[in-house]
Amino acid sequence: MITNFFKKKVQRVIDRIDVLLYHNRVVIGNRSYRWCKIPIPEGYPRQSQTHPSIFYTQEKWNHYTHWLATTPYPNSDTKFENPCIYKANQQNDIIPICYSPISNNPIVCHPGGDAYNSDPELFIINNTLYCIIRENENKHYLREIKLSSSTDGEIWTKPKTIYYSNDEKRQLLSPAYLKTKNKHQIYFLNGDAGIGRHGKCSGIEIIESENLETLSFKFVNKGNFTNSKEVGIEPWHFDLFEYKNCLYMVLCGRNKKRKTIRNPMETFLAVSTDRINFHIFEKPLIRYFKTYRPSAYIDEAGIFHLYFSTIGFYLNDNSDRNIGVTSIPFKQLLNELKDK
């Protein structure tokens, strides 16, 4: 106990030093960032927010421009890793950082036993807000992709399984939703790139259905990162967004070519022209922090808004996981990523 307590104290000091040393160089182009202020769910021991999924609409949906899903994860305890929903309004073109909880968080309870919830994904179809939830049971390699919905953002349906696998090689990590013509598609990553320094991403998996709420989702394609070996980046968790006939991915990953003692997962951007295979930009969007799943969107003015999650004691409130926000014109970002 004393050893673990001492290790945590040391880690807090190291993480705070990172903030002091790098706070002006964390975001590509030395742009500023802010931390989201998200209430602690009732009955949870402390603040710890990870795995953001952001949904934005200029017209507002049920009175709010921004809806955010997260999974609290205090002390890496999976019994608290249950999707929660928050809401906020953009005012005077300023991206909100203060979020209010819905009245019924979390929207799904811990499944019990060795299973746990993870990886929420928000999207809207026909004026209904949906949340994909990945329920995982490592003991039996069972991964269930579940779907819950809400017409007001407050009351959510009981999640129902729309896809599953008990193949140990198919982790179905970090589901990301896309609507393509009349098809509903969900993308996943497979592999163990985030578990250890020697882990690898084994590829992208895509399932598809014409009916969102049935068990008719089928595997349709497998993609890859075309330059992963060249740049040395192994992706872990991700999100997707579309812009001008291209599909983009924001992801966390580790650059395995970097021969340093400290080599955390950082946040990167990748692009696909065929909607299957992705090219990773070598320059990180978020550096130095230990990052986890990001989420992003581009607004009507062409501004790229990135919600990135961090693991570490970077704030003074002793929270071990937090979500930051930064913004940059997307055309400018692409130019900076291409510059050598």
Query: What confidence tens digit (pLDDT) does each residue in 202-228 have?
Result: 999 999 999 998 888 999 999 999 999
The rounded distance, in Å, linking the Cα atoms of 236 and 201 is 7
In this prediction the pTM is 0.95
Question: What b-and-e string marks burial along 209-240, b requiring 16 or more CB atoms within 10 Å of the CB?
Answer: beebeeeebeeeeebebebbeebebbbbbbbb
Q: What is the DSSP letter of 140?
A: G
For 299-309, the pLDDT digits (tens) are 999 999 999 99
CB-based contact 280:271 (threshold 8 Å): no
Domains and CATH numbers, the chain: 2-338 (2.115.10.20)
Reading across the β-sheet that carries 183-191, which strands appear in turn?
173-180, 183-191, 201-209, 218-223
For 253-282, the pLDDT digits (tens) are 999 888 776 778 999 999 999 999 999 999
